[in-house]
């Protein structure tokens, strides 16, 4: 039995290219695993946005103040209402009721407070109500 020695020659370019492709392949596999592994946890957290209940935020107008109550379920805003509002405020600021009605209407259509738009007649009043809703929603977030 005769053993013949075989000599294999590799060019440096081939070794470098092969090494680069192996490293890129490993990185691609790691990125794909991390993307799909993280998806299941994001879906679970996306299901429950809020702790169900009614949350309130206070609006101060002049010397009067009243609460904006936001009722939420786990994934959406159910209703927005004023609480402890006196007749003086409703008389002095009649657009509060109009803004609240439009907020409830648009929330039922779009499901989001971010997509609410107000007409120019009650834009300032609507913005004040919207900011109070944001404050109440911060309390409701999980």
Check pLDDT > 60 for residue 27: yes
Measured distance CA(55)–CA(40) in Å, rounded:
29
Would the pTM count as exceeding 0.85?
A: no
Check pLDDT > 80 for residue 1: no
What phi and psi, each to the nearest 5 degrees, are found at residue 55?
-125, 150
Average pLDDT over residues 93-119: 85
Alpha carbon 137 to its chain centroid, in Å, reads: 11
- pLDDT at residue number 46: 52
3-state secondary structure of 54: strand
**Cα distances (Å, whole numbers) of residue 43 to 47, 113, 141:** 6, 21, 16
The side-by-side arrangement of strands in the sheet containing 77-83 is 53-61, 64-72, 77-83
Average pLDDT over residues 79-101: 87
- Summary mean pLDDT of the chain: 85
CATH match of 53-140 with 3.90.1010: yes
Check pLDDT > 80 for residue 29: yes
Measured distance CA(82)–CA(36) in Å, rounded:
44
Which of 127, 142, 133, 139 shows the shortest CA–CA distance to 77?
Answer: 133
- pLDDT at residue number 81: 92
Where do the structural domains in the chain lie, given as residue ranges?
53-140
Q: Where are the beta strands (DSSP E) in the chain?
A: 53-61, 64-72, 77-83
């Amino acid at each position: 039995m005769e053993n013949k020695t075989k000599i294999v020659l590799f060019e440096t370019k081939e070794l470098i290219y092969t090494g680069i492709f192996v490293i890129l392949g490993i990185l691609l596999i790691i990125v794909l695993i991390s993307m799909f592994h993280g998806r299941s946890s994001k879906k679970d957290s996306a299901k429950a946005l809020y702790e169900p209940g009614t949350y309130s935020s206070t609006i101060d107008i002049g010397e009067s103040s009243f609460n904006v109550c936001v009722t939420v379920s786990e994934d959406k805003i159910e209703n927005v209402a004023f609480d402890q509002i006196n007749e003086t405020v409703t008389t002095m600021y009649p657009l509060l009721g109009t803004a609240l009605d439009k907020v409830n209407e648009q929330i039922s259509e779009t499901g989001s407070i971010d997509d609410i738009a107000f007409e120019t007649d009650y834009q300032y009043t609507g913005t004040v109500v919207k900011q109070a809703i944001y404050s109440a929603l911060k309390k409701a977030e999980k």
